[in-house]
């Protein structure tokens, strides 16, 4: 079993919000820690999502497979909020840089 298959099995045992697996656990078991942002774990999770079509969500406690419509809706709202925050930051920085503010 390769690394991504092992992560898939691990994720499949963490279904639903409240049953998260942390990025640190994933790195400790399947990839050397890269930095405090757990970049390596994120890369492995992303690859696993794409390879195995897993509906994986994340929160401040870790990663889990989405178990129901409510968890899906909550995660989509979280992503939309983060995207809006990034778009706002881009707009502010652009205005400052171009002297428009």
pTM: 0.85
pLDDT in tens, 3-27: 899 999 999 999 999 999 998 888 8
Domain ranges of the chain: 1-67, 68-101
For residue range 23-49, list pLDDT tens digits in order.
888 888 876 666 677 888 888 899 999
Backbone φ, ψ for residue 63 (5° rounding): -115, 150
**Strands 62-65 and 56-59, sheet pairing:** antiparallel
Q: Would you state the CATH architecture of domain 1-67?
A: Orthogonal Bundle (1.10)
């Amino acid at each position: 079993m390769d690394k991504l298959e092992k992560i898939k099995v691990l994720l499949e045992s963490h279904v639903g919000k409240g049953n998260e697996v942390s990025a640190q656990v994933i790195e400790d078991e399947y990839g050397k820690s890269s930095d405090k942002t757990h970049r390596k774990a994120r890369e492995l999770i992303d690859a696993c999502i794409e390879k195995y079509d897993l509906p994986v969500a994340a929160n401040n406690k870790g990663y889990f497979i989405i178990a129901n419509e409510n968890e899906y809706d909550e995660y989509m709202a979280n992503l939309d909020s983060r995207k809006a925050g990034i778009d706002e930051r881009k707009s502010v920085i652009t205005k400052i840089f171009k002297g428009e503010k």
